[in-house]
Structure 1
């Protein structure tokens, strides 16, 4: 008789929209019990998902499933990267950037079915100052907004846009310096994004040409732009045309060193991390085994 794979579902009960009370019943009903046996735990505090993933690795669990958003995924990825333990996703966060990129349905029943199919793809992860991320990291305005958004009592794209509009005019841009093709560049930017996949979430594509399996990181530089340009920028973001904007530059690399004149906020997979002035970013090719829902670029 074939051995059943051991699964651990890690549920973040406060991520995204609504309650997660029904997820256990859905897993019990729709998971393929001929292939899998499972445990389910809910997180109780920041960092709890990481602790649960560490225990899963030591217990020789075959797959850890993040039931939540990109922040929950990030905690788990920081443990699973460079191990043989697979990552599954039931995307129940606010943006669900990674889940959307790899075709995991937002409907929990259909997401569970993706786990049943078990299509596994080795993907890249990235490091910023030694911290692993799998979707997006960044510095400057977007990181500042991630902090404001995470402190808000409301979730969703409209709340995020509201935070952006409220703080845009008051944010002070920073001067950065870095090397591109042997040339030292020093310039002020509103935001610099480190993109492993294509989108923040909610189909907002900041790096539409990025790939999570090409062994490269896409660095996206956003210059300051006038307030009236926001509708154009949002349209380009939602239609995968952001790279065509005159305010956007993109650099593809395996390693990137960035210095800011003063400490600036940094986010990692959508969660504010810290304020620093020096950033070392690098790719970790094919370092995570991810359950996907479609062919992925």
Structure 2
């Protein structure tokens, strides 16, 4: 089996490139086939992943942040290739749902030696995602956080906190219609909606703390319109996953969800920002194979890892 490492040189302000000698050292003296591919432009990881996934059974590793993971997921969806995640970005949120504390150099060998497990895959307007998608205020935060991430010495979570304050004063409320599994429908003025397969995003925030990667459901957090002051009091709880106690927050669990808006709204798909007026989400149970680092047994509950 071939091991394909797709490396985003911009991820983590260059940290991804530092893992190249670690990978080379792991394979030194072995007969395993491996290849290192460095991305050159946005979307390149998808192209590379698709070329290898469609030509042979292989393991394809993301060495970058959650954006790189998302690109590779869209390249291997529907194939027999497996996804390995070696975090080297600023947020590294997807890996938090399957691995606790880790050291970058150790997780390289642990992932290469790991076992595959079938997890759910989600889709928003035809585009795949494995972790979390969101709309509204939250997507605006992701978009604006990019500006702060480019600054030196600004870690992922701090960039999101700066963006939170900045976005609060530019906030726009959206009136939407929400349809859950074709049998529940309601209108509301929405601050944000997070549609989750995984648990973490935004550098460790917990929008939907009970989400499980292999239960066949999307977990949805809906936050209704609130004042600017309440936004600033919401997010300390939102970060910790304690916002469920707030009266303007509700949770749903669904296989499909549709959100329709009269105005164009921002859509965040694992860190990629798109826009639209009608967004349809769905879950595809067991649709992707993910490599669990060595030591992770298949009978462990994903939510407790």
Fold agreement, TM-score > 0.5: yes
Structure with more helix by fraction? 2
CA distance in 2, matches of 1:160, 1:190: 17
CA distance in 2, matches of 1:15, 1:203: 17
- Give the conservation status (yes or no) of the 8 Å contact 1:194–1:218: yes
- Give the conservation status (yes or no) of the 8 Å contact 1:105–1:111: no
Deviation string 1:233-273 (CA, Å, 9 cap, x unpaired) is 34423433232222311110001111112110111101212
Change (3 A) 1:251 1:41: same
Question: 2:179 — aligned with what?
Answer: 179
Deviation string 1:105-125 (CA, Å, 9 cap, x unpaired) is 552212112223322110001
CA distance in 1, matches of 2:42, 2:29: 31
- Give the conservation status (yes or no) of the 8 Å contact 2:57–2:80: no
Unaligned runs of 5+ in 2: none
Q: Secondary structure at the match of 2:257?
A: strand
CA distance in 2, matches of 1:21, 1:264: 35
Q: Secondary structure at the match of 1:132?
A: strand
Q: CA deviation at 1:208?
A: 0.5
Change (3 A) 1:229 1:31: farther
Question: 2:261 — aligned with what?
Answer: 260
Q: CA deviation at 1:55?
A: 1.5
Change (3 A) 1:166 1:231: closer
- Pick the aligned partner of 1:99 from 95, 104, 111: 95
- Give the conservation status (yes or no) of the 8 Å contact 1:258–1:278: yes
Q: CA deviation at 1:157?
A: 1.2
Instruction: Say yes or no: does 1:279 pair with 2:279.
Output: yes
Instruction: Say yes or no: does 1:83 pair with 2:79.
Output: yes
Runs of 4+ in structure 1 deviating by more than 6 angstroms, as ranges, are none
Change (3 A) 1:234 1:30: farther
Question: 1:67 — aligned with what?
Answer: 63
Q: Secondary structure at the match of 1:179?
A: strand
Question: 1:292 — aligned with what?
Answer: 292
CA distance in 2, matches of 1:31, 1:110: 14
Change (3 A) 1:218 1:31: farther
Deviation string 1:198-231 (CA, Å, 9 cap, x unpaired) is 1114321111111110000011111233444456
CA distance in 2, matches of 1:92, 1:76: 15
The correspondence of residues 200-215 of structure 1 with structure 2, limited to 5 A, is: 200-215=201-216
CA distance in 2, matches of 1:252, 1:129: 19
CA distance in 2, matches of 1:33, 1:226: 61
Deviation string 1:23-60 (CA, Å, 9 cap, x unpaired) is 11011223586473211011110010011101111331
- Pick the aligned partner of 1:114 from 106, 110, 113: 110
CA distance in 2, matches of 1:258, 1:33: 53
Q: Secondary structure at the match of 1:149?
A: helix
| Aligned residue pairs, count | 292
Q: Secondary structure at the match of 2:17?
A: coil
- Give the conservation status (yes or no) of the 8 Å contact 2:160–2:203: no
CA distance in 2, matches of 1:219, 1:108: 31
CA distance in 2, matches of 1:137, 1:21: 28
- Pick the aligned partner of 1:9 from 5, 10, 18: 5
- Give the conservation status (yes or no) of the 8 Å contact 1:124–1:213: yes
CA distance in 1, matches of 2:142, 2:260: 21
Unaligned runs of 5+ in 1: none
CA distance in 2, matches of 1:190, 1:126: 22
Q: Normalising to structure 1: TM-score of the pair?
A: 0.91
Q: CA deviation at 1:139?
A: 1.0
Tell me the C-alpha RMSD between the 2 structures.
2.1
